[in-house]
Chains A and B, each alone.
Chain A
Amino acid sequence: MNPMLLFQLSWRNLWRRRRRNGLLLAAISFAVAGVVVLNSFIRGMQVQMTQTAVNNMNGHVKVLAPGYLDDPGIARSFDLAKDWRPDVLEGIEAEMVAGWASRVRVPAVVMSERETRGVQLVGIDPAAEAISFIGDMAVEGERLSGSEDGRLLVGRALAEQLETAAGRRIVLITQGADGRNREAGYRIAGLYDAEGEGLEKAFLFTGIANVQNLLDASVITELSVRLTEDRHGPNVLSRMIDALTGLDVLTWQDLEPTAAAMHEFVDVAIAMWFLIVMGALAFGLINTLVTAVMERTRELGMLRAVGMRPRAVVVQVVVESMLIMVLGIVIGLALGMLLYLPMASGIDMSAFAAATEEFGFSALMVPKLEAGDIWLVVSLAIVIGLLASVYPAWRSVKITPLEAMRR
């Protein structure tokens, strides 16, 4: 069967019912555009949730002393060589690793002249914290100058609770490695703003050497490794588990199970969303094609009567519907891109800040359009178009040419 003939017949048949096929084309285009845009929001939220979980000092892979999660404190600490680095381990390439940071994180009580609060005191090397939210958070006042810095960075929300400010002094009490309480006064270098008040109220930052001196222990309680891409996670995890025996090597999913569950749920939600929209579209497509084929039963019978094989008739009907589908996909993708591009840099959701923070989202909603999702839309639409057209096409040839011509 001449493919050009099939294409010619199919193309011209499309123009016989301009209004109906135009409406169908519009329905496909809007469905594809809607799926693309809404999917970019859902995917954007998913990416943001992952980023938030990774940014919250977890990294993609985190090393802890056994038992630290259940009983955090300096007693659950470990030591690594000063020059230890993950990217020299066998099987881990340098380009897989974006950075790593060692920290000492212990529970502490902070007191101002007016208030007392329980917090997490975190000793950091500011230069290594580009891998977490610490690296890019806004600071009013001064940032920490290095791991030896003995001043504090206090969250703005905590500072309000403590009724204190940058430049003032506050007192910290925590437990040392020997089990005895340590108490020291520190000056506040600056107040930081984080995504959500929860972080601002929970964490106090100072130089890592400062905390080690306070606790009289030259150890760390955690090591976070951030990767350049999520897909390197399983490989790096297994290599680090092999290299760091006796320590807990965990993923961000282990540390933030709720966020991990949401991440997986979003994948399922996207697939279901695709199926629902495309499924609804399939019914519309089947309805239109069945009508179109029934109208032309006699004509399709005649094509067979003069020598067109039944298979060629089926192919012709399928090509016809696939032409509409492909056109609809192309227009839908173009429309989707037109809608997406103005929003690609993000949408300000600060009016709903309380709600977005509750779910771990930033107030800036950044939609994410992934090639994989576009392929999923395209391939799903094509598969549905094929399935939807095979039925009416099959109907058209299940009767004899003579029966068809008598209708």
Chain B
Amino acid sequence: MSDLVVSCEGITRVYADDAVPVHALRGVDFEVRRGEWTSLAGPSGSGKSTLLHVIGGLDRPTNGEVNVDGQRLGGLSESQLSDLRLNKIGFVFQAYNLIPVLTAVENVEFIMQLQGVGAAERQTRARATLTRLGLDDIGDRRPGELSGGQQQRVAVARAVVTEPVLLLADEPSANLDSSTTQDLLELLRNVNEQHGVTIVTATHDPMVMDYAQRRVRLRDGAIEHDESSSGA
């Protein structure tokens, strides 16, 4: 098993929808080691979210190559990319993005349902994950009945329940207050340290950056600074 979970070489991403092309990424070389928590930081428009999306196969680079857990993304079809995201990557989004018609526990089960995990195992794992994240009392509520913090924790539960190789979190604390953010980050630290899940976050939030072992700062689509620490 390679030590590298993410490997990007010469990634450029140019949005040419408007009259003036926008260079979101300009030849980025970037690697993430297994078990590492990396935080992508930088001002708006620096390219951190774009890089996160390219790593997650949600966006395709204009040039360059991305490998996730040894799999080259460039040659994959949309369905193959879906399979890769389903089986190897967990996502936590800024806007939670839970499925509104499913309860919290059903949302957590959802990815396992897509993977074809049997009902009994699914329910057991989903309930156990919710309990581990302190959400066992809200399992039967739908997202509309949950606070922002609770929804984000359910989203984390959904992302980690299948024990993905890589967890990508885009501005996970953007809609949360500092206390809830703290809880969320403790949760991510637990997932990272206890379960060895590699995490990449894109954030403006200094609290999130402080929790990461490695901080990569982007500016104008290029890596400006790459710094490691032992975390908060």
Q: Which residues of A contact B (CB under 8 A)?
A: 1-2, 5, 8-9, 12-13, 15-16, 298-299, 302-312, 400-402, 405
Flag the segment in B27-35, B91-99, B124-132, B184-192 that touches A: B91-99
- A8 vs B102: C-alpha distance when bound (angstroms): 9
Interface contact B114-A307, CB-CB below 8 Å: yes
A1-B114, A2-B116 as given contacts; A305 in contact with B59, CB under 8 Å:
no
- A16 vs B144: C-alpha distance when bound (angstroms): 12
- A34 vs B58: C-alpha distance when bound (angstroms): 48
A302-B93, A303-B99 as given contacts; A308 in contact with B82, CB under 8 Å:
yes
**Seed contacts A302-B99, A306-B97; 15 additional CB < 8 Å A-B pairs:** A5-B114, A9-B101, A9-B102, A16-B101, A298-B97, A299-B97, A299-B100, A305-B91, A306-B114, A307-B82, A308-B82, A309-B82, A312-B114, A400-B58, A402-B53
Q: Which residues of B contact A (CB under 8 A)?
A: 53, 56, 58-59, 78-79, 82-83, 85-87, 91, 93, 97, 99-102, 110-111, 113-116, 158
Interface contact A306-B86, CB-CB below 8 Å: yes
- A304 vs B111: C-alpha distance when bound (angstroms): 11
- A303 vs B99: C-alpha distance when bound (angstroms): 8
- A309 vs B91: C-alpha distance when bound (angstroms): 16
**B53: which A residues are within 8 A, CB to CB?**
402
Interface contact A9-B87, CB-CB below 8 Å: no
Q: How far, in Å, is B16 (CB) from chain A's closest CB?
A: 14
Interface contact A305-B85, CB-CB below 8 Å: yes
**A299: which B residues are within 8 A, CB to CB?**
97, 99-100
**A405: which B residues are within 8 A, CB to CB?**
58, 93, 97
Across the interface, B102 reaches (CB within 8 A) one of A12, A15, A298, namely A12
- A303 vs B59: C-alpha distance when bound (angstroms): 15
Task: State the majority secondary structure of interface residues on A.
Answer: helix
List, sorted by A's number, 17 A–B pairs whose CB atoms are closer than 8 Å: A9-B101, A13-B101, A298-B97, A299-B99, A305-B56, A305-B93, A306-B85, A306-B97, A307-B82, A307-B86, A307-B87, A307-B114, A308-B82, A309-B83, A401-B58, A402-B58, A405-B58
- A1 vs B116: C-alpha distance when bound (angstroms): 7
- A309 vs B59: C-alpha distance when bound (angstroms): 15
Q: Which residue of A lies closest to B80 (CB)?
A: A309
- A302 vs B111: C-alpha distance when bound (angstroms): 12
Interface contact B114-A305, CB-CB below 8 Å: no
**A402: which B residues are within 8 A, CB to CB?**
53, 58-59
Q: Which residue of B lies closest to A307 (CB)?
A: B86
- A235 vs B82: C-alpha distance when bound (angstroms): 59
Interface contact B114-A310, CB-CB below 8 Å: no
- A400 vs B58: C-alpha distance when bound (angstroms): 7
**B86: which A residues are within 8 A, CB to CB?**
306-308
Task: State the majority secondary structure of interface residues on B.
Answer: helix
- A180 vs B177: C-alpha distance when bound (angstroms): 117
Across the interface, B99 reaches (CB within 8 A) one of A1, A9, A304, A311, namely A9
Interface contact B100-A16, CB-CB below 8 Å: yes
Central interface residue in A303, A305, A310, A402, by most chain B CB within 10 Å: A305
Interface contact B100-A310, CB-CB below 8 Å: no
A5-B113, A402-B53 as given contacts; A306 in contact with B100, CB under 8 Å:
no
- A13 vs B102: C-alpha distance when bound (angstroms): 10
**B114: which A residues are within 8 A, CB to CB?**
1-2, 5, 306-308, 312
Central interface residue in B102, B111, B113, by most chain A CB within 10 Å: B113
**B93: which A residues are within 8 A, CB to CB?**
302, 305, 405
A2-B113, A401-B58 as given contacts; A12 in contact with B83, CB under 8 Å:
no
- A339 vs B83: C-alpha distance when bound (angstroms): 51
Interface contact B116-A304, CB-CB below 8 Å: no
- A309 vs B87: C-alpha distance when bound (angstroms): 12
Central interface residue in B91, B97, B100, by most chain A CB within 10 Å: B97
Interface contact A307-B97, CB-CB below 8 Å: no
Q: How far, in Å, is A366 (CB) from chain B's closest CB?
A: 48
- A311 vs B80: C-alpha distance when bound (angstroms): 12
Q: How far, in Å, is B54 (CB) from chain A's closest CB?
A: 10
Across the A-B interface, the 6 shortest Cβ-Cβ residue pairs: A307-B86, A12-B101, A302-B97, A402-B58, A307-B85, A309-B82
Q: Which residue of B lies closest to A1 (CB)?
A: B114
**A401: which B residues are within 8 A, CB to CB?**
58
- A309 vs B99: C-alpha distance when bound (angstroms): 16
Across the interface, A305 reaches (CB within 8 A) one of B58, B87, B116, namely B58
Q: Which residue of B lies closest to A9 (CB)?
A: B101
**B83: which A residues are within 8 A, CB to CB?**
307, 309
- A401 vs B170: C-alpha distance when bound (angstroms): 15
Q: How far, in Å, is A352 (CB) from chain B's closest CB?
A: 54
- A16 vs B101: C-alpha distance when bound (angstroms): 8
- A402 vs B58: C-alpha distance when bound (angstroms): 6
Q: How far, in Å, is A371 (CB) from chain B's closest CB?
A: 38
Q: Which residue of A lies closest to B49 (CB)?
A: A402
Q: Which residue of A lies closest to B168 (CB)?
A: A305
**B113: which A residues are within 8 A, CB to CB?**
2, 5
- A2 vs B87: C-alpha distance when bound (angstroms): 16
Q: How far, in Å, is B60 (CB) from chain A's closest CB?
A: 8
**B56: which A residues are within 8 A, CB to CB?**
305
Interface contact A307-B111, CB-CB below 8 Å: yes
- A306 vs B116: C-alpha distance when bound (angstroms): 14
**A8: which B residues are within 8 A, CB to CB?**
102
